[in-house]
Structure 1
Amino acid sequence: MRMNIILFIDSLANGGSQRQLVNLAIGLHQRDHCVTVITYTPLNHHLPRLEAAGVSFECLNKRSKFDLRPVIRLYQAIRRLKADSVVAFLRTPALYAELAGLLCRRTRIVVSERAGITDRGLGKEHYLSGLGHSLATVVTGNSHHYLDALAKALPWLKPKCQVIYNSIDEQFFENGKARSQLEQPPSDSVDSAQSSACRLCVVAARPSEEKGLLPLINAVVQLVDRGITDFSVHWIGPVQDTHPLVSKAQSLIEQHSLQGNWHWEGEQSEVARCYPDYQGLVLPSLHEGVANSLCEAMASGLPVIATDIADNALILGDSGCGLLCQPDNASSLADAMQALIQLPQETRTAMGLSAYQRARELFDEKNCLPQWERVLTPALH
């Protein structure tokens, strides 16, 4: 059944939710649905991908924080495009879509929660957005951990809740396939003198407290103090030198002479090309949903070290593809990093193969897109 689908989000900035929405738009378009992506803030990092795939795009240009015209304009777009379904990512776009849906009762309003929660549980903002979801047809999320907490707090939402994990572009799986065929993947960008050291990457859209930047640097300090120096950590993502957290991090790096073990790699336009240069991923987040970098690294055949938050334990399971550590705990993180660094290369390669196979099971578009189609198809509900 061919559907007219609107995918709605604040912008196409360089964020994980934006990347996931673009992946979904391209995947649904390739499955012969009529897809239009609509935003209201003109930040268009991912727009070239949509244009290359032939996906329609509109920007509603919200003028101020409390400008509610995007609700009316979204309603008008629903009518003009004869949309069967609207999928809204993130909290504010979800609210706008839910309000617009009051005027379009035949259109399915599907909201997608991408948030994580702290160990203190749901906050006031989660309850408020959950109340708004009473107006939605379906509430999706990329984390059992979050949706279970939401349904427990607001039981009437439980029948609407549906977990759909992030889908990963095939180019990441091509990395994993290539790595599985080689004992040690070649890399033109890695100096041969460094090839024996274990290179670990962190991929983050921004350096922030919830991304675990400072616990990670303190873990690196502990490793060096233990006499473990044959490794390096590479932070991939935009970094502003004037950001207070980055300044504090840089002070720690200089104070402990970590310049040989820590590298700011900056923003990369083609993240998929980065993963083959590394032997593992570190995900030190304190709280978030299911991270794109976790899914992408596993698909690329990298063993992972991840904090025990959200669905990370469920995703890694007993597959042998990674190690868990406690969030906001530099010693626990250092222990996990030490364990991975000191493994023989062939063991890390075997872990990476397990990660690739687990990612195929959970994050392959061939599995994720049919789940979205079932959610979006009125005839099945």
Structure 2
Amino acid sequence: MEKSVRNDWVAYVGPFLFPWGQASSRRVYGQAGGLAAAGRHVVVVSGEHGRELTGLPELDGPGSVRYVGAGEIPPDGAGRLAKSVHWLLRWGARTVRWLDAQPTRPSHVVLYGGDAPYAAHLGRWCRRHRIPLVADVVDWYGPRQVPGGALGPLYLSSQLARRYHYPRCDGVIAISSFLADYYRRRGLPVLQVPPTLDVRGLAVSAGPDDDGGSRLRVVYAGSPGRKDLVDTLVRAVDRVNAGAGRVELRIVGPAPEDVRRMLGGGPIPQGVRVLGRLAQQQVSSVLQAADFSVLVRAEERFTRAGFPTKFCESVANGTPVIANLTSDLGSYLRDGVEGLVCRDHSVDALAETLWRALLLTPTDRRRMRAAARARALESFDFRAYAGPLGEFFETLRPGNRAENIPVSVG
């Protein structure tokens, strides 16, 4: 275990868990791996408490990844008032103190999350020390996706970060073309990087047992939040099975009571198994045992701005995807190749696509599995972005931040 950082290093900071625990953890893991593959030495400064500087040897070479907790996330048992004061006034201050305590300054700071308070603290620190600040931007939620709505502090803070603080950074890493286009219009250097993971290091099985193609096994794995239409998945499967189809849907993540609530309090139909939360290794096993994963989202600004990590994880496990095309999925999901494209996010459209999947032969399904895995290796392995990340960081200098050019989004 190392006690100090190197002389030439990149700080990747934010109030997330690391290396595992959240969708944000997976995003930062992939980005840090890409920077290490580009020869950079990365220190991830997460929001956790009580963690010393620790190495991730699986991401070494030619650079390295280490991580440490700055204690930004309020501890368990903290009261609501204490949490609110910390979030409004001190969010990011402990990370700045940690950076100040290091014997050498980082060459760059990358900020993931934290909204306006974090961005304000890190922005001031980077300007004072003339260190390029890069924002890793992965979403643009509307008021309906954030607790408290349009006048709530969470939504106002996120808007202030995306419209004021991030355009004053020295560069942006954007998860989607929607976000990349927005920040390019604001005059910033932008690199677009979708969700990435260690695809090469993921062991993949041969897939589900061949039963002649008469049964279809599909899976949803993740935290739906206010994005993924899990109720649509359940209703579409129930409709197909009522028409003599044989579809089994496994839901990983939500608890049974969560699914019943999504269904308006109704029962969970036969053909739907709710597995609840599983360890990451178990999730991979469930994905690989399925013929398809399924993902449907409404076409709104927040789905255009984000990019579903669930899609990347599915194809990395060699499991093709049934989905409607939101965000940049049209660049990676070709109908009949890496999966099946659903014409929209309705129950009718998904039921039609499930019937199409039932008619596929075992050979068709095996071919799609191979294409899905090939897509993941080409487009979502973190090593694929080592070159672009290395070149992007070489171009960044303090003062790249643009003037305030008013541009609205959607």
After TM superposition, the score normalised by the length of structure 1 is: 0.79
Q: Which amino acid aligns with 1:300?
A: N
1:166 aligns with 2:195: yes
Question: Does the aligned pair in 1 maintain the 2:212–2:362 contact within 8 Å?
Answer: no
Superposed displacement of residue 111, structure 1: 0.7
2:332 — aligned with what? 315
1:223 aligns with 2:240: yes
Superposed displacement of residue 127, structure 1: 5.0
Deviations 1:278-325 (A, max 9, x none): 111111233542222211211222221112211111221467212222
Task: Say if 1:374 and 1:52 are closer, same or farther in 2 by CA, change over 3 A.
Answer: closer
Q: Give the unaligned 5+ runs of structure 1.
A: 180-184
Task: Say if 1:299 and 1:329 are closer, same or farther in 2 by CA, change over 3 A.
Answer: same
2:136 — aligned with what? 112
2:288 — aligned with what? 276
1:198 — aligned with what? 216
Q: Structure 2 CA distance, aligned partners of 1:104 and 1:278?
A: 51
Question: Does the aligned pair in 2 maintain the 1:309–1:327 contact within 8 Å?
Answer: no
2:108 equivalent among 85, 100, 108? 85
2:84 — aligned with what? 65
Question: Does the aligned pair in 2 maintain the 1:172–1:300 contact within 8 Å?
Answer: no
Q: Which amino acid aligns with 1:10?
A: P
Superposed displacement of residue 327, structure 1: 4.9
Task: Say if 1:323 and 1:3 are closer, same or farther in 2 by CA, change over 3 A.
Answer: farther
> Partner of 1:316: helix, strand, or coil?
coil
Q: Structure 1 CA distance, aligned partners of 2:199 and 2:393?
A: 23
> Partner of 1:359: helix, strand, or coil?
helix
Question: Does the aligned pair in 1 maintain the 2:47–2:70 contact within 8 Å?
Answer: yes
Superposed displacement of residue 364, structure 1: 2.1
Q: Which amino acid aligns with 1:90?
A: G
1:9 equivalent among 14, 37, 55? 14
Q: Structure 2 CA distance, aligned partners of 1:194 and 1:225?
A: 21
2:164 equivalent among 123, 131, 155? 131
> Partner of 2:280: helix, strand, or coil?
coil
Question: Does the aligned pair in 2 maintain the 1:71–1:99 contact within 8 Å?
Answer: no
Deviations 1:337-381 (A, max 9, x none): 221232111101112222222222211222123322222235799
Once superposed, what is the RMSD of the aligned Cα atoms? 3.5
Q: Structure 1 CA distance, aligned partners of 2:357 and 2:55?
A: 35
Task: Say if 1:161 and 1:23 are closer, same or farther in 2 by CA, change over 3 A.
Answer: closer
Q: Matched residue pairs, number?
A: 353
Q: Structure 1 CA distance, aligned partners of 2:273 and 2:226?
A: 18
Deviations 1:14-64 (A, max 9, x none): 3222212023334544665332221235599xx999588672312233552
1:182 — aligned with what? none
Q: Structure 1 CA distance, aligned partners of 2:368 and 2:334?
A: 13
Task: Say if 1:276 and 1:202 are closer, same or farther in 2 by CA, change over 3 A.
Answer: same
Q: Which structure has the highest helix share of the two?
A: 1
Q: Which amino acid aligns with 2:190?
A: C
Q: Give the unaligned 5+ runs of structure 2.
A: 1-5, 60-64, 75-82, 145-149, 401-410
After TM superposition, the score normalised by the length of structure 2 is: 0.74
> Partner of 1:309: helix, strand, or coil?
coil
1:334 — aligned with what? 351
Superposed displacement of residue 70, structure 1: 4.3
Q: Structure 2 CA distance, aligned partners of 1:272 and 1:314?
A: 24
Q: Which amino acid aligns with 1:40?
A: G
Q: Structure 1 CA distance, aligned partners of 2:335 and 2:242?
A: 31
Deviations 1:152-203 (A, max 9, x none): 8xx324x42220122221356541xx54xxxxx367xxxx989952211111
1:358 — aligned with what? 375
Question: Does the aligned pair in 2 maintain the 1:2–1:34 contact within 8 Å?
Answer: no
Sequence identity percentage: 18
Task: Say if 1:111 and 1:236 are closer, same or farther in 2 by CA, change over 3 A.
Answer: same
